[in-house]
Structure 1
Amino acid sequence: MPLTAAVLLRSAALSDQEFLDALYLSTRDDLQALAADPALRPMIAPMIAMQQKAQGLSYQASYPGAEYLVIEHAGAPVGRAVVHADADGLRLVDLSVLPQARGQGCAGSTLVQLQQRAAEGGCELHLTVRLANTGARRLYERLGFDVVSDDGLDARMRWRP
């Protein structure tokens, strides 16, 4: 589906935390299933906070200086991208889009903007994707990413300008 408004990338701010919390939950089918059980609902918020914090600490340790970007479409936040620059080029560490915004070109537009940034810097764009995530893999391949390696669980992909 073509976009009717531009997709913008901007730095995440403290005021984005509520959105980022909702986005994180939307990517966790396992936690959503737990939330369906009324007896488990009181435990969901602390679990989300703990796992989100662990993810953030892991990213900070593995990708110091990474950019945390909010993806906006039609003036509203719809996703997040974490991008890290290193000696190999740019690495897309994480790309998440709200379920209601999927299939509208937001992730594709974000990737094209990152490809433009990589091309301007004369570098490659790298990412890792779960082999089971066939929709994302198709998108990456359509945008010119090649599989460099896979370990049976994840594929490492690269785009060259």
Structure 2
Amino acid sequence: MSLAALRIRPALPLDEAFFLALYRSTRDDLLGLLADPRYVDGIIAMQQQMQVAGYRSSYPDALYQVLELDGDPVGRLVTAGVPGALRVVDIAVMPQARGRGVAGEALRRLQEQAAREGRELTLAVRTDNHGARRLYAALGFTVEAEEAGRLQLRWRP
């Protein structure tokens, strides 16, 4: 993927439907738990609202961005400044765009920004998210701690 192929832009209110679809694409675990599919949309919407509320509570100044390929939204990036570092609060890519370098390119750009600013880049990943863990390792992130099924990772310029 070339640098020019990925556009990262600020999120807008009209992106909410996309964000809900993106969240739904990451929650196969909920789909398998619900016996009655009529409840799936409501549960997913509620879970997504809780996720956003948690982010806003923990990172009130977070920057919400949309990742686009060829003008189509394919992912979301949420970042926040924390003492001495830039925190990747969340990065998610739609299934049809995974494996095309979207997350890797977005993270490389964040690494460049962090290096320019003299800051580290931090993030957390579920221990069972092996694909993301491989990507983060390839980009030079190292494990700082493990807690409650999540790894805390750090990249230093």
**TM-score class, shorter:** over 0.9
Spell out, residue by residue over 1:105-156, the C-alpha distance to the aligned partner (whole angstroms, 9 max, x if none).
0010010011111111110000011111111111001011111111361111
1:17 is matched with 16
- The answer on 1:44 being equivalent to 2:40 is yes
Letter of the 1:96 partner, please give it: A
Shift of 1:41: 2.6
Does structure 1 retain, via aligned residues, the 8 Å contact 2:3–2:105?
no
1:128 partnered with 2:127: no
C-alpha contact (below 8 Å) 2:126/2:150 kept by paired residues: yes
How many positions carry a matched residue from both structures? Answer: 157
Identical aligned pairs, as a percentage? 48
Q: Secondary structure at the match of 2:118?
A: coil
Pairwise CA RMSD: 1.7
Once the two structures are TM-superposed, the CA of residue 57 in structure 1 deviates from its matched residue by 0.8
Q: Would the alpha carbon gap of residues 125 and 101 (structure 1) be closer, same or farther in structure 2, given more than 3 Å must change?
A: same
Identify unmatched segments of 5+ residues in structure 2.
none
Unaligned runs of 5+ in 1: none
Tell me the residue number matched to 1:97. Answer: 93
Instruction: Please tell me whether the aligned partners of residues 5 and 74 of structure 1 are also in contact (alpha carbons under 8 angstroms).
Output: no
CA distance in 2: counterparts of 1:30 and 1:133, whole angstroms: 13
- One-letter identity of the residue aligned with 2:15: D
CA distance in 2 between partners of 1:133 and 1:10 (Å)? 26
* Whole-Å separation in 1 of the counterparts to 2:3 and 2:51: 33
Tell me which amino acid in the other structure corresponds to 2:22. L
Change (3 A) 1:108 1:139: same
TM-score by length of 2: 0.93
The alignment status of 1:60 with 2:53, answered yes or no, reads no
The answer (yes or no) to whether the contact 2:75–2:94 under 8 Å persists in 1 is yes
TM-fit CA distance, 1:23? 0.3
CA distance in 1, matches of 2:4, 2:97: 13
Q: How many Å apart are 1:95 and its aligned residue? A: 0.8
User: What is aligned with 2:6?
Assistant: 7
